[in-house]
Each structure stands twice: as structure tokens, then as C-alpha cells.
């Protein structure tokens, strides 16, 4: 398969944002793992005063290794080569383009989205980025006992043909990832979006299983080899923890069984690609109640029980 520039061996930028686009902290979890493995350092950052409402995304106080308390402000930064990669050969990211891989991690801004996206895309151009992979994670009707699916899409026709991905037919509210993708395509940087499905009934906990799913799809599209570290063990522990919750709740267990049956039907050999795409579109339109998934973009309650949403 011929890959377009930037997706195998080119200068690639992997993008992830906290908040609406990051159910189970899966997208930022994958991006942070890449940045740590590669020893990336900050090469460009936005001024948070321009884009963030601190009453909505508050700064946090942390204690540094030297015992000094300091404030960390919400923001967004592009990280690039220049630091010291992990010294353990078994933990290094390898493959085409690994030496020039860049990562953008940030919090979704509260205002001036067009300017925010334009500033970051300009920084990507300065870094000679040739392709962008946008990582997202959504709350979905996905059983935790099955492999968590990742939907890949692109608005770029050449990317779709080269990578064999679809063009999303979703219509509705979007997050900052879609704005950055639009800006990037306008200046000639091809993009592809990867969205992991996170079980909505465990939306309060980070999902290492979804992180694994995103990393696997990223490897598939780019040819990179990304060591998982302890993620496999953490994912098994996460799944066992949800199993334990379901074992104590007959209704929850029955609901998960229904999700498993629906997923198995979609995964059956006779299931068409169109059916699978329709299932993903249904996921998009029925996102969960957390701020990372609400279709109306509003803040949702954090302490809701596992129960199915209306109409599930």
C-alpha cells in the first residue's frame, strides 16, 4: 500500500486534547506515552491568556520534585525531537519517521478557536510537518469485554485512497480536533482522525484499553512500532475491575451482555462495511453525558451511575 507523505516515513504530528475529545483520557494517554518514549521537548506553545477561561479550565497547583509548589496553566504545546529518548531499547519508538515524530498535547480552548487552530497549524508548518494524525476518544455503546474499536476517517481524498479509510458522514457539534483538521487541510497538510470507542458505563475512569486500541491503529497507519510498557497489564486490570462491578449488579451485567451481542453481530464475517460504518455513526450521535462526549457540548454530571442512556 502506498502511503501519502507524512504517514510513513515523513514528519508526522500526533494531536490529542483533553476534555470533550478525550473520553477515558485515551487520546491524551496515547500522546503522552509517545512523548515520554521519544523524550520530546516543547518547541512551540500558545499563550493561554488568549484562549482559555480559567473559571472553566482552572490552573492547578503541583509540587515539583524539589518540593517547590508551582502553578500549571492550561494550554497547548507542540513537542518535538531534542530531548533524551528512553535509554531502554525495548521501550523506544521505532520505525519510519520515529526520529522526526512530533506530538501536540493541550486542553480544549474556551474561545477564539479559529485563531488557536491557525497558530498551531502555523507552528506545524514551521516544523515542516507533512501529515497530522488526530487522536480522539468517544463514549459509546461498546462492551468492555471486547476489543475497543477505532474508527479512522479523513476529509482528504488521497489519504482515504492510500490508507483505505472512510470519510465520516457525521453532522453535528464538533471539538477542537475538527477545527485543527480543517485548518491543516486548507494549508495543504493531510490529516487523518482516529477515534476510539470507550464504554460509556465506565466513563469516570481512565481507560488503558482504549489507549492500546489507539496505539495499535496508529501503528497500522504509520508503520511505527510503539512499545506498550505496562499498558497491557493495566488494561487487563481495568477490565477485571469492570467485571467485578458487573458481578455485583445483575442489571449492569445484563446490559453488558446485550452490548456484547450487538458487537458480535457487527463483527461477524457477514457484516458489511456499511453496517460497521453505520454503527460508528450511531455511536457519534449518542455520545455519553461527560464533557468529553456530550453532543451538545455542555458540561455533564460527573457522578452519574452506569445505567444505559435513554433509548439504549
Q: Write out pLDDT tens, residues 217-246.
A: 999 999 999 998 899 999 999 999 999 988
pLDDT bin (cut points 50, 70, 90) of residue 308 is very low
pLDDT computed for residue 125 by the predictor: 97
Structural domain contains residue 66: no
Determine how β-strand 41-45 pairs with β-strand 60-63.
unpaired
Q: Which of 205, 200, 202, 232 is nearest to 216 (CA)?
A: 232
Beta pairing partners, 60: 72
Query: Would you state the pLDDT for residue 298?
Result: 33
DSSP 149: P
Q: Residue 195 and residue 280: Cα distance in Å, rounded?
A: 10
pLDDT-derived band of residue 54, with 50, 70 and 90 as boundaries? very high
Mean pLDDT of 97-104: 95
Say yes or no to pLDDT of 299 above 60. Answer: no
Asked if residue 297 is part of any domain, the answer here is: no
Q: State the greatest distance between any 2 C-alpha atoms of the chain, in Å, as a whole number.
A: 60
- Percent of the chain exceeding pLDDT 70 equals 83
Residue 299 or residue 95, greater confidence: 95
Q: Please report the pLDDT score of residue 198 as a whole number.
A: 94
In a domain, 309, yes or no: no
Is the model's pLDDT at 28 over the cut of 90? yes
**Burial of 86 from C-beta contacts in 10 A (0-12 / 13-18 / 19+):** middle
Q: Confirm whether 290 is domain-assigned.
A: no
User: Does any domain span residue 123?
Assistant: yes
Lowest mean per-residue pLDDT among 40-54, 184-198, 291-305: 291-305
For residues 211 and 92, the model is more confident at: 211
Comparing 116-120, 265-269, 289-293, which segment has the lowest mean pLDDT? Answer: 289-293
Rounded to an integer, what distance in angstroms lies between the CA atom of residue 49 and that of residue 234? Answer: 37
Residue 78 belongs to some domain of the structure: yes
Share of the chain above pLDDT 90, in %: 63
Lowest mean pLDDT among 127-136, 180-189, 243-252, 277-286: 277-286
**Residue 103 is assigned to a structural domain of this protein:** yes
| Residue 302 pLDDT level (bands cut at 50, 70, 90) | very low
Geometric angle at alpha carbon 56, from 51 and 59, rounded to 5°: 80
pLDDT of residue 281 exceeding 70, the answer is: no
User: Which range of residues forms the domain containing residue 131?
Assistant: 12-56+71-285
Q: Looking at residue 282, what is its pLDDT?
A: 61
Report the CATH number at residue 111: 3.40.50.10900
109 part of a folded domain: yes
What DSSP designation does 67 have? S
The whole-chain average pLDDT of the chain stands at: 85
Number of domains in the chain: 1
Amino acid at each position: 500500500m502506498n502511503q501519502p507523505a507524512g504517514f510513513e516515513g515523513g514528519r508526522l504530528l500526533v494531536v490529542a486534547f483533553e476534555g470533550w475529545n478525550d473520553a477515558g483520557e485515551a487520546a491524551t494517554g496515547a500522546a503522552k506515552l509517545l512523548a515520554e518514549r521519544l523524550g520530546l521537548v516543547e518547541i512551540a506553545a500558545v499563550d493561554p491568556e488568549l484562549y482559555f477561561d480559567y473559571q472553566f479550565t482552572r490552573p492547578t497547583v503541583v509540587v515539583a520534585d524539589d518540593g517547590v509548589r508551582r502553578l500549571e496553566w492550561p494550554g497547548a504545546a507542540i513537542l518535538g525531537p531534542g530531548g533524551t529518548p528512553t535509554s531502554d531499547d525495548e521501550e523506544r519508538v521505532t520505525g519510519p519517521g520515529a526520529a522526526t515524530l512530533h506530538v501536540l498535547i493541550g486542553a480544549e480552548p474556551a474561545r477564539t478557536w479559529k485563531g488557536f487552530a491557525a497558530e498551531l497549524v502555523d507552528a506545524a508548518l514551521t516544523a515542516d510537518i507533512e501529515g497530522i494524525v488526530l487522536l480522539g476518544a468517544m463514549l459509546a455503546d461498546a462492551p468492555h469485554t471486547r476489543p475497543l474499536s477505532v474508527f479512522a476517517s479523513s476529509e482528504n481524498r488521497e489519504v482515504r485512497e492510500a490508507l483505505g479509510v472512510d470519510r465520516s458522514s457525521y453532522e453535528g457539534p464538533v471539538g477542537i480536533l475538527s477545527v485543527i483538521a480543517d485548518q491543516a487541510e486548507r494549508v495543504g497538510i493531510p490529516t487523518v482522525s482516529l477515534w476510539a470507542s470507550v464504554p460509556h458505563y465506565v466513563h469516570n475512569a481512565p481507560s488503558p484499553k482504549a489507549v492500546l486500541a489507539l496505539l495499535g491503529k496508529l501503528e497500522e497507519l504509520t508503520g511505527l512500532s510503539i512499545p506498550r510498557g505496562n499498558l497491557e497489564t493495566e488494561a487487563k486490570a481495568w477490565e477485571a475491575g469492570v467485571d467485578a462491578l458487573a458481578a455485583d449488579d445483575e442489571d449492569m451485567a445484563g446490559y453488558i451482555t446485550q452490548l456484547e451481542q450487538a458487537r458480535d453481530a457487527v463483527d461477524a464475517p457477514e457484516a458489511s462495511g456499511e453496517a460497521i460504518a453505520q454503527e460508528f455513526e450511531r455511536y457519534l450521535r449518542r455520545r455519553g453525558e461527560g464533557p468529553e462526549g456530550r453532543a451538545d457540548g455542555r458540561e455533564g454530571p460527573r457522578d452519574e451511575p452506569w445505567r444505559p442512556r435513554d433509548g439504549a
